[in-house]
Structure 1
C-alpha cells in the first residue's frame, strides 16, 4: 500500500508540474545532482521536458538509474528528438528509470528484478562483479542524495 501511495504521489506530482517545473532544485537532491553534473545534461533536458524536476526534488526516497549523455547518444538522433518532443512517452521512459525507495548497490546486487515507478519490471543481474539493469551496465553506484540514491548506467532503459 505504501509503495502504491508513493507511486501515485510521484505520478501526480509529475503531472502537476508537467507544464513547468523550471525552478532550480536543491543541489543535494537527485534533481540537483543531475543538474550540477555535465555528464547528465541530456537527462536533465529530458527531466525538464517531462516536467519531473519538482518530483525528483521532492522528499522521496527514490532510486534512479541515471543514463549519461553517452547513453543517450546511443539512441539515433531522430528517435531521441521524437522522444524529447513527446512528453507522455518521455515521462513513461524516465519513470522506467526510477524505483520507489532507496535501494543501495549492495541491495541491488541481491535482486533479480524490480518494479519501476511506471509499473513495468526491470531485470537485475550480476556478472563478473558488474551489475546489469536490463541491458545497461551500472558504471557508478551509490551516488547518495538527500532524497534517495543514483546509480549511473551506460544505456537508456526502454520499457
Structure 2
C-alpha cells in the first residue's frame, strides 16, 4: 500500500521538481518571461482581460493571500470565460462561491509553462497532475504545443497566453473556468 501511495504522488513531485529547474524558463512564444516586482494580486489587477477575476478575488477576501509570501500559481480565467459562467461572483452574496472557485484555480508553487511542459515530457508525454488549494486534482496534457488543464469534473481550459511572473508566483491566463457550472 505504501508503494502505491508513493507512485500516486510521483506526478506531483515531478511538477514540483520541474518548478525548481535551473534552466531559464521560456514563455509560450519561446521568450524568457520577464520577472515582475508585482505580487500576484497586483499583477492580476493590472491585466485588462483579468479584471473580472480581480473582482472575484476581492469579493472572496483573498487579495491579502495573493499579496502574501507564496509562491502560488493562479490559473486565471479571462473575462470572457468568467462571463460565460453566467454568475456574478463579485456579488457579496457569492462570497463563499468566489472563494471556492479561486481555490480550484490555485496550486502551490510557481509553475511556468516550461515547467509544466517539462513535467509532462518527463512523465512520458501523457499527462501530469497537481493538487489545487481546494484539494482537487488538475491534469495537464498537451495538444500539439498547447497545454490543456482539466479538472476532476471534466471542466477544461487551455493556457491562453504567456504567463505573468510575480514576486510570489505565476499567473497562467486560461480560456475557461476549471469548475463546471451547476
State the TM-score, normalized to the length of structure 2. 0.67
Asked if 1:50 is matched to 2:60, the reply is yes
Q: Is the 8 A contact 2:72 2:169 kept in 1?
A: yes
Residue 139 of structure 2 corresponds to residue 123 of structure 1:
yes
SS in 2 for 1:106: helix
Q: Is the aligned partner of 1:157 residue 2:165?
A: no
> Out of 139, 148, 154, which is 1:132 matched to?
148
Q: What is the CA deviation profile of residues 25-44 of structure 1, one whole-angstrom value per residue up to 9, with x for unaligned ones?
A: xx701100111122111101
Q: CA deviation at 1:103?
A: 1.2
Specify the SS of the correspondent of 1:139: coil
1:82–1:49 Cα change, 3 Å: closer
Q: Could you tell me how far apart the structure 1 residues matched to 2:89 and 2:177 are?
A: 15
For residue 32 of structure 1, the aligned residue among 27, 42, 53 is 42
Of structures 1 and 2, the larger Rg is shown by: 2
Q: Which runs of 4+ in 1 moved over 3 A?
A: none
How far the C-alpha of 1:118 sits from its partner, in A, is 1.1
Question: What's the offset of the Cα at 1:83?
Answer: 7.6
CA shift digits 1:9-65 (9 cap, x unpaired): xxxxxxxxxxxxxxxxxx701100111122111101100000000000001000111
Is the contact made by 1:136 and 1:154 (CA closer than 8 Å) also made in structure 2? Answer: yes
**Contiguous gaps of at least 5 residues in structure 1:** 1-26
Q: Which residue of 2 aligns with 1:10?
A: none
